Amino acid sequence: MCGAIKKHPHHHFTSLMNVVARPFCRRPGSITTVQASGSRALAPKAKAPQAKPSPEQHFIKSRSMHIQSIPMWTGTGNNYAYLVSDDKTKEATIIDPANPPEVLPVLKEQTDGGKIKLISIINTHHHRDHAGGNAELLKHYKVPVVGGKNCDKVSETPADGSTFKIGEGIKVKALHTPCHTQDSICYFFEDGDQRAVFTGDTLFIGGCGRFFEGKPEEMHKALNVTLASLPDDTRVYPGHEYTKGNVKFALSVSQDEETKRLEALAMNNTQTQGKSTIGDEKRYNVFMRVNDPAMQKVTGETDPVKVMGKLRSMKDHS
């Protein structure tokens, strides 16, 4: 790992810097292609609802980064784990693999077949529906667990702004975003001009996480300073599929064209992860519009931190 990493001495796993890489074989089957043009992510076609969504793959065209979404607890928690791999070296990481019965079959199919080499587990925060699968996965893969200090079995905690690599092409930057939990970390992945951010329960498509361990000023900083500073074409991969619920709240406070775009995204997609960008979120996510006069009017506040707090309170009681 590059940058400042706090290693936890009670774990003795191989460092991410010392993993041997091998060539990559593409997984057969359906692949969702993310265009390299950097165009806006919202041009969805209507899809029939699926009782059990299958893993969805996003192949960054002409680059080496593959992102595979693994739905977990569909219909209840509606969580996502993400398997991110480097085409050239086969190196891969699994993000928030909280439910091993749903994650391990996907991992085993690829690792046992020599398609990928798992080099790490990454957690966005310590809640069990994100980090609760670490112990079971470590029975199968002796790899470091990268995450906040309170994550189960964590072995390496990246400092805010520190970077590390997955394979040859994927650079990862850790962004500390305390509020939902104090150990919340978002991870910005960059491969050439292709970008993705894995936001856990900090940023959802059209929403944000509850302030369980933090205050409005912390979520304001997380969303409107830290994440808002990422390139607008950065695709957003949250920890849950909460978009339809977020649309319902958004429509209660705004009926403008941008909110209708968010509504269309939710209506036309069973899974919305990777289909919205940071630029999109700044336009239609009410929690990233705290300086918008419309949000100030509906909350009766003008200070952005107070707007954030009032919006969250309204959402919690909606």
In contact, 180 and 155? CB cutoff 8 Å:
no
How high is the pLDDT of residue 58?
Answer: 64
Out of 96, 180, 183, 280, pick the active-site residue: 180
Give yes or no: 125 in active site: yes
| Confidence bin at 39 (pLDDT 50/70/90) | very low
- CA–CA separation, 215 vs 80, rounded Å? 25
Over residues 221-253, the pLDDT tens digits come to 999 999 999 999 999 999 999 999 999 999 999
Location of structure tokens 């706090």? 6
Give me the mean pLDDT over the 105-127 stretch. Answer: 97
Find all residues with CB under 8 Å of 211, minimum gap 6, and list them. Answer: 179, 180, 218, 219, 312
Q: Name the catalytic one among 66, 130, 176, 220.
A: 130
C-alpha dist (Å) from residue 196 to 25, 50, 281, 307: 22, 25, 13, 28
Q: Residue 40: what pLDDT? A: 39
Q: Reply yes or no on whether 130 is catalytic.
A: yes
Q: Is residue 14 scored above 90 in pLDDT?
A: no
Task: Check if 201 is active-site.
Answer: yes
Catalytic residue among 129, 183, 191, 280: 129
Work out the number of other CB atoms within 10 angstroms of the CB of residue 109. 13
How far does CA 96 lie from the centroid of its chain?
Answer: 9
Residue 127 annotated among the catalytic residues of the structure: yes
Tell me which of 58, 66, 125, 126 is the catalytic residue: 125
* Domains, the chain, with CATH or none: 5-30+51-240 (3.60.15.10)
pLDDT score at 15:
45
Which tens digits make up the pLDDT trace of 140-164? 999 999 999 999 999 999 999 999 9
Considering the candidates 66, 126, 240, 280, report the single residue annotated as catalytic. Answer: 240
Q: Would you call 176 a catalytic residue per the annotation?
A: no
Q: Which of 86, 96, 201, 280 is catalytic?
A: 201
CA distance 312 to 318: 10
pTM recorded for the entire structure: 0.83
**Choosing from 127, 176, 183, 280, which is the catalytic residue?**
127
Residue 71 pLDDT > 90, yes or no? Answer: yes
Q: Which among 89, 84, 93 has a CA at the least distance from the CA of 118?
A: 93
